[in-house]
Amino acid sequence: MTTKDAPDLPIKSLTTTTLDGTPDELTGGQITGSTDLNIYKKSNVVATGNNNANGRLTSGKTSASLTLGPAGVKSATYNGTIDYTIAANIQP
């Protein structure tokens, strides 16, 4: 991660947690999340739907945790964005 006129931010890890969604009462469709999944500089499956997961479903709460490297990083100096892709038929 970088910002204009700022050095690279020394990132050690970026992990996400996505809680399971509530099953749909009619279809049983549900989104199942992953816990403490490292997504820094790698692709990972953060949530999956079961065979009945069609239509409008919602995951549980999602959070991210960023771990920085050596001391000396100034607070409130950097901004960042988490980019993601929604894909179908990925096998874990």
| Confidence (pTM) | 0.72
CA-to-CA distance for 6 and 91, rounded, in angstroms? 39
Extents of the domains making up the chain: 12-66
pLDDT of residue 5: 58
Which tens digits make up the pLDDT trace of 49-77?
999 998 889 999 999 998 888 777 777 66
Q: 19-39 pLDDT, tens per residue?
A: 999 999 999 999 999 999 998
d(CA 67, CA 61): 20
CB 21 within 8 A of CB 60: yes
